[in-house]
Amino acid sequence: MNLRFDSKKRYIVDNFINIIVLSVLTGLFAGVIITFYNIFAFLGEEYSVKLYELVFENPAFVPLLFLGLAAGALVIGTVVRFVPMIRGSGIPQIEGAARGIIRFKWYVTLCSMFAASLACMFLGLSAGAEGPSLEMGGCAGSAVGTILKRNHMARRLQIASGASAGLAVAFNAPITGLVFALEEAFRSFSPQVFISAAISVVVALFTRNAIRPAISMGGYSFETGFAFNGVFDFVEVTDPIIFLWIALGAVCTALAGVLFYHLVFLSKRLFKRITFLKGVGKYLIPFLIAGAFGLISVYAMGGGHSFIETVGGGDVNLSVFGAGLLASLGIIVLMRFISAVLVMGGGVPCGVFIPMLAIGAGIGALLSCLFNMWGMDGIYTDYMIIICMAAFFTCVVKAPITGLVMIFELTGSYVNLLPALMGVTIGYLVGVVCRIQPIYEKCLEMYIDEEKLYEKLKKERITLEIQPLSRADGERIRALIWPTNGLVTSVKMPDGQTLVPDGEFTLAAGEVITFECETDDLKETTDYLYAITGKPARQTENK
């Protein structure tokens, strides 16, 4: 018994050493790619603002601007048509890949998203870098698993780890990246997922921090990441009435999130009807409208980081066409809202994490102005902005833990714990009451339907015996990463008794499991299961 225990222990150690090595390589690759990508994204937004300011000062250039936008829309639309993995932010697709539903060529997806999303930022769309960073991080994980010829389970693990590392580098927020792997990519907790994602995130951020100080161009040091440390000024809450204002603001913002959700999918249905140039013509709409909005206000452009910094801190000073603060905020929020809807609905390859936070921040600033007129103390404005950011994001994405952690890491303050928790909770509850699905989950379902991935699947039933010292031996069913679209339906004990297990059932050597699934590659799925249950000796000999 001790010998068996020692052998199992060695097996576990060897397995985790393998995971550590792969995760380190994934973190290095993702860290390098995403750091440089975010530097270029920073430059793209900066030069985009200068371009629009130049055009605004010289109206004769307006036709050239829109001609360039139209050309960019057609080129990017053509790329998306041939590489559907980069459609939209890429987050739903990479989640599908991490769950084993979607297969893709990592080098094609990485290069296409890198170029297309940067072009969108330079052209002035309401585009963030975090979604593409997440997808390209997943591509880095896929590259490591593919080049080193690892099995399908290992590749899935590295895709999720790389995606987490990509998000962590984009935001400079390690815990947000780690939580994403558990809450969004796999939607379950597993020690393997946690360890792999944690290592990749740490290595990627070390890589980022090593590269960043060394990079300069013309004496200019680049900053990457979207943290708002020092922007917001949170004071101690002394008036209990503020929580009523916060609750009201969170409800209003969450309802705006519900509207945003429905408009995104309405726009998707409408865009499908556009068949001009085999559907590529639909990209003209978000690009040309973004150009018009950019000429009205630079705060309607880019991811929204500068806009959030402007409304934060309690001293908001912006004006659109000489209008007052309240009207200007309303115009900018409306433009950002419409742009984000069209970008998501049209499938433009760019991120919407920061744009959604910017919409929430704008709504929070707008509500603060109104509430201040009705009696709310102005010193709580930053609380309202943060709460509305959390409520809007959580309502739309339905990832409350990610939303809560992200708010803390981006602001660098835990003073706002209770208000932020209120915002996240109310945002999530409003989404539940209004019966909206997580937006990325819904987009993934639509992508699968459009690409007809489920039509290739066949129902299969696979019977396997748990081998001694295998990964499954001594593990609970829910602690293992099983193939997607499958379930352990029965377990036959050595004494002949058959039972239907739940996720807490602990498997043991000698038991025979029946795994029912839908797959388009029976051999790959069987090999995947052998990596969990162990391969019988006779199978190894025959091979």
CA distance 12 to 504: 20
CA distance 79 to 111: 11
Q: Is the dihedral of CA 7, 535, 540, 146 positive or negative?
A: negative
What DSSP line would sit under 24-37, residue for residue?
HHHHHHHHHHHHHH
CA distance 423 to 335: 24
pLDDT per residue of the chain (543 residues) written in tens, 0 to 9? 454 545 555 555 556 678 888 999 999 999 999 999 998 988 888 899 999 999 989 999 999 999 999 999 999 999 999 999 999 888 889 988 888 888 889 999 999 999 999 999 999 898 888 889 999 999 999 999 999 888 787 888 899 899 999 988 988 888 888 887 677 666 666 777 888 889 999 999 999 988 876 665 444 445 545 566 666 776 766 677 888 888 899 999 999 999 999 999 999 999 999 888 888 889 999 999 999 999 998 888 888 888 888 887 655 667 777 778 888 899 999 999 999 999 999 999 988 888 998 999 999 989 988 888 888 877 778 888 888 988 999 999 988 888 888 877 777 766 667 778 888 999 999 999 999 998 988 998 888 888 887 777 788 899 999 988 888 888 888 878 788 778 898 999 988 889 888 888 899 888 999 998 888 788 888 888 888 888 886 654 444
Give the residue carrying structure tokens 């100080």: 213
Give the residue carrying structure tokens 């939607």: 187
CA distance 282 to 331: 25
Contact indicator for 404, 421 with CB cutoff of 8 Å: yes
Contact indicator for 268, 285 with CB cutoff of 8 Å: no
Q: Report CA dihedral (305, 166, 390, 351) to the nearest 10 degrees.
A: 60
Amino acid at 199: I
**Structural domains of the chain ordered from first start:** 9-221 (1.10.3080.10), 242-448 (1.10.3080.10), 457-542 (3.30.70.1450)
**pTM of the entire structure?**
0.86
226-245: burial string, b at 16+ Cβ within 10 Å, e else? bebeebbebeebeeeebeeb
Contact indicator for 343, 126 with CB cutoff of 8 Å: yes
Residue 486: what are its φ and ψ, rounded to 5°? -140, 165
* 3-class SS letters over 410-470: HHCCCCCHHHHHHHHHHHHHHHHHCCCCCHHHHHHHHHHHHCCCHHHCEEEEEEEECCCCC
* DSSP 8-state class, residue 491: E
Per-residue pLDDT tens over the stretch 73-85: 999 999 999 999 9
What DSSP line would sit under 135-178, residue for residue?
HHHHHHHHHHHHHTT--HHHHHHHHHHHHHHHHHHHHT-HHHHH
Q: Is the dihedral of CA 312, 314, 317, 319 positive or negative?
A: positive
Integer distance in angstroms from the first to the last C-alpha of the chain? 30
Selection from 300, 290, 303, 299 nearest residue 129 by Cα: 303
